[in-house]
Amino acid sequence: MQVGIDKIGFFTPNKYVDMVDLAHARNEDPNKYLIGIGQKQMSVADQTQDAVSMGINATLRYIDQIDKKKVGLLVFGTESSVDQSKSASLFVKSALNLRPEVRTFEVKEACFGLTASLMIARDFVRVHSDETAIIIGSDIARYGVGTPGEVTQGAGSISLLIKSDPAILALNDGHSAYSQDINDFWRPNGSKLAMVDGKYSTQVYLDFFKNVFDKYKEDKHLETKDFDAIIYHLPFTKQGLKANRIAIENQDEETTNRLQNSFEASKQLSMRVGNVYTASLYMSLLSLLENDELDSDALVGLFSYGSGAMAEFFSGNVVADYQKQLDEKGDLALLDRRQRLTVKEYEDTFNNALEEPKDGEELSSDEAEGVWYFAGTKNHIRQYKQK
Ligand code: HMG
């Protein structure tokens, strides 16, 4: 039985800052951000958008197309958790009216969280072939105003429906994993800003990529040329470009061109949204599917990396007519609807979002009709509302 991705829903908040504006404000050459880092824009979450609301909004993109009675598992991967105890997924379950029998919880290992959820969901569907699983990755990347990491922030969510006989990507058996207890990036309790050993993190990411990619090919008796596309966790697109350069080293012209083109296709959303941690690799997948022309059965390699650190390489085959499942126009409209903030407005919005509203204070949102948002707390219980 084939199991894999049947639906993809994407959401990002309604504000962004332009990288050229940011470069000017930080006295940097814009090409450092545009080329050196590889980012054009960065989504900004105000106080009313958090991991939960973005996760609901991403799932809303496809919820009316599925049979909700079949959803047996709901897993939420995030490192922007809103509670130390209650799972973000329970708020989502309520908002989406999923049945009480659903098994639901939250998982964490930095950006690896959605891949962990995917593997749990794959195994669940293998055992319960009539049921489906919703898995959500939702995050706000925050390093702080004026930090070296600032240009690699972002906000957004990806929601995936996992089922048997999937309509988008059939996952292949097996994977190669590698983990090591290191301190490249972390966020201590009580801090809304991540701490990072930036240069070290970029090197570890590449070392882990080489490790799991080589091991995967060896285990599966595959060569680089067998892949139609390889996609990456993209903390910023230059990082993926460097990994892709490793992948295509010593390849013939045809393979090199193919994997360069597929990488270009896969980075389009990330370039405009920024780092969305857990959701990032799956935003690369969505971007690849929307911007490349893949034959049915095309082999896609996926590299997942979560700081701390955990990496995994796995693969899937594209399903015929996958295009019918996508909403490319809707995704572009979501990006185009965003308000361009001045750098001052971005700084104020960013700093305001670090504060918790006073208990009992009701927040209002400037999002469009139908969008869910965080409306403040009542008796320290988070309230989510739909516009
Ligand atoms: P930095 O020190 O500001 O940048 O920090 P730099 O001086 O290294 O320059 C960056 C690049 O721009 C360099 O290119 C420069 O040459 C180039 P490279 O050598 O890398 O090829 N450059 C220019 N290019 C064109 N025109 C110019 C120009 N000037 C310079 N005029 C850093 C960069 C990424 C370290 C920083 O932004 C940071 O700390 N970011 C956060 C950490 C991060 O994203 N790490 C990625 C790997 S870890 C990961 O992926 C996990 C993560 O997602 C978290 C999780 O798992 O949850 C982060």
Query: pTM for this one?
Result: 0.98
Structural domain count of the chain: 2
* Active site annotation includes 79: yes
Nearest CA to ligand 1 atom 5: 148
Mark whether 359 and 290 lie in a shared domain. no
Q: Determine the pLDDT at residue 356.
A: 93
Q: What pLDDT is recorded for position 229?
A: 98
| Interface predicted TM-score (ipTM) | 0.99
Mean pLDDT (the chain) is 98
Q: Check residue 31 and give its pLDDT.
A: 98
Q: Please tell me whether residues 208 and 294 are part of one structural domain.
A: yes
Closest atom, ligand 1, to C-alpha of 143: 41
Confidence class for position 4, pLDDT limits 50, 70, 90: very high
* Helix (H) or strand (E) segment spanning residue 159: strand 154-164
Confirm or deny that 29 is annotated as ligand binding: yes
Q: List the residue whose alpha carbon is closest to atom 31 of ligand 1.
A: 32
Are 343 and 365 in a shared domain?
yes
Mean pLDDT, range 245-249, rounded to an integer: 98
From the list 109, 131, 150, 233, the catalytic residue is 233
pLDDT of residue 315: 98
Return the percentage of the chain with pLDDT > 90, whole number. Answer: 100
Confirm or deny that 275 is annotated as ligand binding.
Answer: yes
How does pLDDT run across 96-118, given as a tens digit for each residue?
999 999 999 999 999 999 999 99
Q: What pLDDT digit, counting tens, does each position of 328-362 carry?
A: 999 999 999 999 999 999 999 999 999 999 999 99
- Torsion-angle region of 370 (φ positive above 0: left; ψ -120 to 50: alpha; else: beta): left
Q: What is the pLDDT of residues 68-78, one digit of tens each?
A: 999 999 999 99
User: Does the annotation place 108 within a ligand binding site?
Assistant: no
| pLDDT score, position 277 | 98
Tell me, what amino acid is at 58?
A: A
From 106, 109, 111, 290, the catalytic residue: 111
How far apart CA 179 and CA 334 sit, in angstroms, is 36
State whether 44 and 124 are in the same domain.
Answer: yes
Considering the domain architecture, whether residues 204 and 83 belong to the same structural domain is answered as: no
Residue 66: Cβ-neighbour burial (10 angstroms; 0-12, 13-18, 19+): middle
Write down how long the chain is: 387
Determine contact, residues 102/73, Cβ cutoff 8 Å.
yes
Q: Are residues 7 and 30 in the same domain?
A: yes
Looking at the fold, whether 141 and 164 belong to one and the same domain comes out as yes
Q: What pLDDT, in 10s, does the model give residues 166-203?
A: 999 999 999 999 999 999 999 999 999 999 999 999 99
Whether 142 and 244 map to the same domain: the answer is no
What's 7's domain CATH number?
3.40.47.10
Give 308-332 pLDDT, tens digit per residue: 999 999 999 999 999 999 999 999 9
**Dist. CA 365–CA 295, nearest whole Å:** 42
- Parallel, antiparallel or unpaired: strands 169-171 and 3-11: antiparallel
Domain final residue pick, 275, 307, 323: 323
Residue whose CA lies nearest to ligand 1 atom number 42:
198
Domain that residue 189 falls in = 171-323
Last residue of a domain, one of 275, 293, 323: 323
Same domain, 330 and 315: no
Per cent of the chain over pLDDT 70 is: 100
The neighbouring-strand residues paired with 341 are 17
Boundary residue ending a domain (269, 302, 323): 323
Domain match, 363 and 247 both: no
Asked if 13 and 156 sit in the same domain, the reply is yes
Whether residue 195 is found in the same domain as residue 96: no
Token pair of 211, please? Answer: 């490790």
pLDDT at 266: 98
